[in-house]
Chain A
């Protein structure tokens, strides 16, 4: 799946800056951003930045990875609930995959996520790391 050109830069605001949409009527925040609030049908919203701490609701360790991720495996992937209640899926890094567990406190950091094809175009976005401080 090519990450080149428009598709790549269109996703920068979410991947680089954790931008979410916050709706006026319900006060709810959605990540990735939505144009319509599924609860109210409201379209009036502002772009906000997500908090960068939270805890893991669930996770897995992917031990058989597609070749694109071959040199990364095994790697941990999880869903975290951030401190404002929004939920985000990302890889968990900077720790032994065997130590990842549900309830673990995490911090969201900016990291290299993958390289595109054999030319190795780098894609950056957020990953979770254990929250030590």
Chain B
């Protein structure tokens, strides 16, 4: 396999973007990525999207996106792995370039979640769980993560304040991100006093429903050098799965798929966890960020919550997590999230993060962990400066 470079990134507006359609959101992100990179064509396109079919009744998304990008004829495909669809899109494009089959490939992700009712959106998202043995019984995603949170609290004494601190920390970062859906600060007290959705998770422990798209362009190093712009390398890519059902896991207080995927991605990159300077993690719910921190070996089980309270994962902490604002503040258009995580890694590694959130430490290695369902999928990428 040959080296794979990231030469440009783009994002649409994120939020309740009523004035832009699914295809327009994609075109906004894709156009920004193409413009930023300076490429004059694409060889291939992958689009991550969890459920165009359920959110807006639209399938055949690869062809739709290629067509409206003005590139009919382009090889294009839609890839799906629930909320990890974006990560799978990146991984698909990565291997197409690494194999030598293509020189310039776009990995995009898009989701349009506000064209349907909140109820319909909840139903579509529930498709990432087990319909027959979880959703049938009344499980919702906040409910499933709430059960994981209770299991974690029971095992390690994790508190609601620790969870709320994850949310508050991510909002601090998102307040500096111009594309974030909720670019403002939220205090720990505001989280704790917000309405309870599913015990022990408050509404401000939950990532929102978002319209949005993100795109990155991956090329061979030969192409990247010719373009003459800042580029990074993706040096590790791994994916792992777990049981689709939460009840089937030996330990419901961890994310087993992340425990498998992170070491594999690091090994591929020839790196150790201690070489990684910062990470984007899939904080669909606050408890998820704490569980991932422990699952990947960054902290011992039960120690991540106290570390968050001590500020270790803040922008100025020893291991910054979710400098973009994470899913909580930036928003979570499910199929786009995994690609947007790579956008943040690229910006931080090339010194282009806006709004005062650029890490002062000149980071060299970043990691993105993108997750589907209750952790039945984890996709992990390592990105490095050249």
Residues of A at under 8 Å CB distance from B? Answer: 1, 3, 11, 14, 32, 57-69, 72, 75, 77-79, 87-91, 102, 113-114, 123, 125
Q: Is the interface of A mostly helix, strand, loop or mixed?
A: strand
Write the nearest CB–CB distance from B131 to chain A, whole angstroms: 6
Q: Which of A1, A11, A63, A79 contacts B123 (CB 8 A)?
A: A1
Q: Does B362 contact A (CB under 8 A)?
A: no
Q: Which of A60, A66, A87 contacts B146 (CB 8 A)?
A: A60
Question: In whole angstroms, how far apart are the Cα atoms of A72 and B143 in the complex?
Answer: 15
* A59 and B150 form a contact (CB under 8 A): yes
Q: Which of A57, A66, A91, A113 contacts B252 (CB 8 A)?
A: A57
* Residue in chain B with minimal CB distance to A97: B199
> What residues of B have a CB within 8 angstroms of the CB of A123 in the complex?
136
Q: Does B274 contact A (CB under 8 A)?
A: no
* A89 and B246 form a contact (CB under 8 A): yes
Interface centre among B131, B135, B197 (most CB of A within 10 A): B197
Q: Does B267 contact A (CB under 8 A)?
A: no
Contact with A along B8-26 (1 / 0, CB 8 A): 0000000000000000000
Q: Does B30 contact A (CB under 8 A)?
A: no
Write the nearest CB–CB distance from A100 to chain B, whole angstroms: 9
* A79 and B154 form a contact (CB under 8 A): no
* B154 and A89 form a contact (CB under 8 A): no
Q: Which of A1, A68, A78 contacts B131 (CB 8 A)?
A: A1
* Residue in chain A with minimal CB distance to B200: A60
* Residue in chain B with minimal CB distance to A70: B119
Question: In whole angstroms, how far apart are the Cα atoms of A14 and B195 in the complex?
Answer: 36
A102 touching B147 in the complex, CB below 8 Å, given contacts A61-B198, A79-B246: no
Question: In whole angstroms, how far apart are the Cα atoms of A32 and B148 in the complex?
Answer: 20
Please name 13 pairs of A and B residues whose Cβ atoms are closer than 8 Å in the assembled complex, sorted by A: A11-B132, A14-B133, A32-B133, A59-B147, A61-B199, A62-B140, A65-B140, A75-B138, A77-B139, A89-B137, A89-B247, A113-B136, A125-B136
> What residues of A have a CB within 8 angstroms of the CB of B197 in the complex?
62-64
> What residues of B have a CB within 8 angstroms of the CB of A89 in the complex?
133-134, 137, 139, 245-247
Question: In whole angstroms, how far apart are the Cα atoms of A102 and B151 in the complex?
Answer: 8
> What residues of A have a CB within 8 angstroms of the CB of B203 in the complex?
64
* B199 and A58 form a contact (CB under 8 A): no
> What residues of A have a CB within 8 angstroms of the CB of B361 in the complex?
none
Q: Does B223 contact A (CB under 8 A)?
A: no
Write the nearest CB–CB distance from B316 to chain A, whole angstroms: 34
* Residue in chain A with minimal CB distance to B149: A60
* A66 and B132 form a contact (CB under 8 A): no
Q: Which of B90-134 contact A (CB under 8 A)?
A: 119, 122-123, 131-134
Question: In whole angstroms, how far apart are the Cα atoms of A15 and B119 in the complex?
Answer: 25
Write the nearest CB–CB distance from B153 to chain A, whole angstroms: 9
Interface centre among B119, B245, B247 (most CB of A within 10 A): B247
Question: In whole angstroms, how far apart are the Cα atoms of A77 and B151 in the complex?
Answer: 13
> What residues of A have a CB within 8 angstroms of the CB of B201 in the complex?
60
> What residues of B have a CB within 8 angstroms of the CB of A68 in the complex?
119
Question: In whole angstroms, how far apart are the Cα atoms of A91 and B247 in the complex?
Answer: 13
A32 touching B132 in the complex, CB below 8 Å, given contacts A62-B138, A87-B247: yes
> What residues of B have a CB within 8 angstroms of the CB of A88 in the complex?
247
Write the nearest CB–CB distance from A27 to chain B, whole angstroms: 17
Write the nearest CB–CB distance from B160 to chain A, whole angstroms: 13
Q: Which of B131, B134, B198 contacts A60 (CB 8 A)?
A: B198
Write the nearest CB–CB distance from B162 to chain A, whole angstroms: 17
Question: In whole angstroms, how far apart are the Cα atoms of A61 and B199 in the complex?
Answer: 5
Write the nearest CB–CB distance from A34 to chain B, whole angstroms: 10
* Residue in chain B with minimal CB distance to A81: B247
> What residues of A have a CB within 8 angstroms of the CB of B142 in the complex?
62, 64
* Residue in chain A with minimal CB distance to B121: A66
Q: Which of B137, B200, B245, B246 contacts A113 (CB 8 A)?
A: B137
Question: In whole angstroms, how far apart are the Cα atoms of A59 and B146 in the complex?
Answer: 8
Interface centre among A11, A32, A72, A77 (most CB of B within 10 A): A77
Q: Which of B170-202 contact A (CB under 8 A)?
A: 195-201
* A69 and B143 form a contact (CB under 8 A): no
* A67 and B136 form a contact (CB under 8 A): no
Contact with A along B219-253 (1 / 0, CB 8 A): 00000000000000000000000000111100010
Write the nearest CB–CB distance from B302 to chain A, whole angstroms: 16
* A60 and B147 form a contact (CB under 8 A): yes
* Residue in chain A with minimal CB distance to B152: A58
> What residues of B have a CB within 8 angstroms of the CB of A66 in the complex?
119, 122-123, 140
* B151 and A63 form a contact (CB under 8 A): no
Write the nearest CB–CB distance from A85 to chain B, whole angstroms: 11
Write the nearest CB–CB distance from B85 to chain A, whole angstroms: 20
